[in-house]
Chain A
Amino acid sequence: MRLKEQWQKKISLLVVAAFLMVGCQNYNEESESVDVPASTEPKSNENYNADVFNFATNQDIPTLDPHGSAANTSFRVTYMLYDRLVTYEGSSTEPKPMLAKDWDISDDGLEYTFHLVEDAKFHDGTPVTAEAVKYSFTRAIKVEKSAAGIFQKIIDENSFDVIDDHTIKITLKKPFAPFVSTLGTVFANIINPKLEENHGDDLGQSYLAETDMGSGVYVLDSWDRGESLVMKANPDYWGEEATMKTVNIQFVNEPSTARLMLEKGELDLLDNTMISPEVLGNMEGTDGITITESTGYQIDYMPMNIESGALSDVKVRQAIAHSINYDALLESVYLGSAERIGGAVPAGMIGYNPDAKLYDYNLEKAKSLLAEAGHAEGLTLEIAISENNEVRSNTALLLQSDLEKVGVKLDIKTYAWPTFLDLVTSGKHNFALVSWTPDYPDPDYNLWYFGHSSSKGPGFNLAFYENSKVDTLLEEARSNTDEELRISNYEEIQDIMAEEVPYIFVAQPNLQAAGREWVKGYELNPMNTWYVPFNKITKEE
């Protein structure tokens, strides 16, 4: 028995000694590294590969059909596989020629004549012609998905006149000022008309879901669903050849895993929506990692359902607007990388109204407005948010404590995304927190969705706001090509809405993406936040 005890003691001692040695070794390693200046030898990463670009996203791609998807992760790929008549380059939101080298617009704003480049070819060698343009738009409308939502109101099958192989005239049903801007969206991607051979009974949607029939700068190489999608540079591209020859998009569900892979150098860039501002803050300063930041057109806002209860009173809404400590919110939730705006048009976009009324943080005013509205004794309201979004849950918590100071008890209800979407579009909410990024850079986009009475509910007018003056101004601006008139209309709408506060625009956050320092030439587009210019990026160690 004594022998056994002695053994146990010896083993315990050994274990303690081993721990101590490990500790000392670490300590020695650290002290040694202080002696060696880091700059003497450039650190090279074993995972560095100048020819392959490794990008990670946590959202799977549902389909590669440009006309059939509402998912940003599909956009990122189809934007590379297909060309459009016009495009947005780098951080610019100005439509630039792509397949259309130039275009003429008739004075009444109804006829658009596009002259196409002559050497563009689809990946199978078929030339890109005016017929292909007609086919693509017609199909987009017939498919009746996201793409149709944009085009259905202004064009139909009969809107197209093929003048010759490389000239097409599109006649709109009614004037639509932002038309050229919409042609740079993924929904306007031009598809090889040979798809017709594989139409089946769904206009080729299931066929095109897994393949590429574009003329873009990249060609689809392979796609293991849920694992990775590889694109190779198109060697016969009619335009400027891509810099990165291979793009490997990996689906990494768990953001923490992606972060480790980035630190290790196995990834070059992460999807900008993947990491919360707080974690990005922690990552800043990590060896070899850089955070790219730029202004964006995303707006984070809070619709107030004016069809329900207390919020139908404008005084209550104004009181709410006065009780929010905006500075604290921008500082603590967005860590300072966001701006405050007064209306639905983001700063930087045409039609932005810098003078739209900004409500100050004024608790006394808020209390007196509430008292005027007959709620001096306080009231209870609910805010709906979708789960798994740190920014939104932190914002809701902050609002909760702010509103408590004026006697408004705020219950935070967190829902899964599908449930949330159903709730807010059917008007069963008081408040909600939503983010919104326009698809094309025109005030019409945001204001029509947020302000027009026809957009109530499912059309994303989540405040269920209705004002006949706003409707008229919107309709007039949409069907007019006179830029001055349009801008003045949009500014007026923002003023009206700021007074009636159907929405509180919480923040216009900056876009931030984490990547390796060796990635050069990556710019975040304020609007197409999912757009990564793989064809322009380089890697330099």
Chain B
Amino acid sequence: MDVLKFVAKRLLLMIPILIGISMLTFAISNTIPGDPARLILGPKATPEGLESLREKMGLNDPLYIQYGRYMVGITHGDLGESTYSQGPVSSDLIRYSPATFELTLFAMMITLLIGIPFGIISASKKDRMADHFTRLFSLLGVAMPAFWLGLLFLLLFYLKLGILPGSGRLDSGMSPPHHITGMYTIDALLTGNWTVLLSASMHLILPGITLAAVTIGMITRMTRSSMLEVLQSDYVRTAHAKGASENRVLYGHALRNGVMPVITLLGMAFGHALGGSVLVESVFSWPGLGKYAVNAITYLDFPAVMGVTLLIAVMFILVNLIVDTLYFFIDPRLKHN
């Protein structure tokens, strides 16, 4: 019951947060000097054409009226029309978001599979070779710009070794699997389309690792420091004293407490990966929200910018809500307080 109450409260809190974000984004994007109508029509348009488009787009109204109109639209599920693609923003978001979610989820999967074990190894082998190695590795991951790392990967694995594809989501000429979730790997798996599954997975590897490099670094470092703290505590010493094996102490006793702060960080890491996708998608020509957002900003496509920002904000809040809810199950003390 406590859990439900907690979730309901957090969901309600989302409303003022989203209103705040929408006001900020709307204000910032509209203060950028530039005329969206002129960008659409180009230098050869007539003044009359410009004026009638401005009127049609509502650009002549005061900002608060434009904002009000936008918010009224949102309550009806209408995110406005993209001035660039000339279609509803909502359908653009539906078109581009699966690619980004697929990439982000894959990156988070790698982050979990590599980051946490690396952190544990690093903590348990403190100041030894393995520790130095993982620390160096995670430092590199955090410090290297994703953009540059992506290009290095491309040079090595795509151009020189030729073992991994360099751009896009599928091999050129291959048609996407039947649309279920929009995430090619999952759709291919569900429809049993193995060639597409292989191609889609191969295409995920380089952008996925590039995107995960930072988050792996973050998680490894956090796991290490938190595990080190736990390993110093009395109950771990007691476990050692009563003769429990190294593995039993590490995974049975220390991990559960050590992993707590890491879970909080995972929520943040997810947000980081969503943001990082803007750069990574550009390098690997990944047709997702990041690429869409960059285009939208270049063309002062305000409705699209708003749509992407709000969608990412909602995702970020939801993921953090899930993470926080997980605490109830991992830390029984919370249920009682």
Where the two chains meet, the residues of A that have a C-beta atom closer than 8 Å to any C-beta of B are: 8, 11, 52, 54, 60, 62-63, 68, 70-71, 144-146, 148-150, 152, 205-206, 209-210, 222, 224-228, 248, 250-254, 256-257, 260-261, 263-264, 266, 416-419, 421-423, 425, 439, 449, 458-460
Contact = CB atoms under 8 A, between A and B. Distances in A.
A422 B173 contact: no
Contact of A419 (B33, B129, B175, B284): B33
B44 A205 contact: no
Interface in B152-195: 154-155, 158-159, 162, 166-169, 172-173, 175-176
Interface in B270-284: 281-284
Given A149-B49, A260-B159, A266-B166, 8 more contacts: A70-B40, A148-B45, A227-B169, A228-B168, A251-B285, A254-B283, A263-B159, A418-B39
B118 interface: no
Contact of A206 (B44, B53, B86, B287): B86
Contacts of B44: 70, 146, 149-150, 439
B96 A70 contact: no
B46 A148 contact: yes
Nearest to A7: B129
A261 B166 contact: yes
Contacts of A148: 45-46, 49
A418 B301 CA distance: 11
A250 B172 contact: yes
14 contacts: A52-B172, A70-B40, A144-B45, A145-B53, A146-B44, A209-B85, A250-B172, A251-B285, A253-B282, A256-B283, A421-B35, A422-B34, A422-B35, A459-B43
B173 A248 contact: yes
Given A62-B86, A228-B168, A251-B285, A421 B39 contact: yes
Main secondary structure of the interface of A (DSSP, over half): mixed
A201 to B, nearest CB: 11
Contacts of B151: 256-257
B237 to A, nearest CB: 23
B337 interface: no
A260 B154 contact: yes
Contact of A63 (B85, B162, B285, B295): B85
Interface string B196-232: 0000000000000000000000000000000000000
Contacts of B176: 224
A256 B159 CA distance: 12
Contact of A253 (B49, B84, B175, B291): B291
Nearest to B92: A225
Given A146-B44, A226-B292, A253-B294, A458 B38 contact: yes
A398 to B, nearest CB: 26
Contact of B42 (A144, A146, A227, A228): A146
B14 interface: no
Contact of A144 (B53, B167, B300): B53
A458 B85 contact: no
B52 interface: yes
B234 interface: no
A54 B85 CA distance: 24
Contact of A145 (B41, B85, B96): B41
B308 to A, nearest CB: 13
Lowest 10 A-B CB distances belong to which pairs?
A70-B42, A418-B34, A226-B287, A144-B49, A149-B44, A227-B287, A253-B282, A422-B34, A252-B285, A418-B300
A250 B285 contact: yes
Contact of B96 (A11, A226, A266, A460): A226
Nearest to B151: A256
Q: Which of B87, B168, B292 has the most CB of A within 10 A?
A: B168
Interface of B: 32-36, 38-50, 52-53, 84-87, 95-96, 129, 151, 154-155, 158-159, 162, 166-169, 172-173, 175-176, 281-285, 287-288, 291-292, 294-295, 298-300
A395 B48 CA distance: 35
Nearest to A54: B172
A257 B300 contact: no
A11 B132 CA distance: 14
Nearest to A60: B295
B285 A419 contact: no
A225 B85 contact: yes
B42 A257 contact: no
B173 to A, nearest CB: 7
B335 to A, nearest CB: 45
Contacts of B50: 458
Given A152-B46, A250-B172, A251-B285, A257 B167 contact: yes
B85 A144 contact: no
Contacts of B282: 253-254
Contact of A70 (B33, B45, B173, B298): B45
Contacts of A252: 167, 285
A288 B168 CA distance: 23
Contacts of A63: 85-86
B90 to A, nearest CB: 14
A417 B50 CA distance: 18
Contacts of B294: 253
A149 B46 contact: yes
Nearest to B279: A254
A222 B173 CA distance: 11
B305 to A, nearest CB: 12
A225 B87 CA distance: 12
Contacts of A70: 40-45
Given A263-B159, A422-B33, A206 B87 contact: yes
B174 to A, nearest CB: 11
A455 to B, nearest CB: 10
Nearest to A253: B282
Given A8-B129, A70-B44, A418-B300, A227 B285 contact: yes
A68 B129 contact: no
B87 A209 contact: yes
Contacts of A419: 32-34
Contacts of A60: 291, 295
A253 B282 CA distance: 5
A264 B38 contact: no
Contact of A146 (B45, B173, B300): B45
B44 to A, nearest CB: 4
B49 A418 contact: no
Nearest to B287: A226
Contacts of B167: 250, 252, 257, 261
A145 B40 contact: yes
A152 B46 CA distance: 8
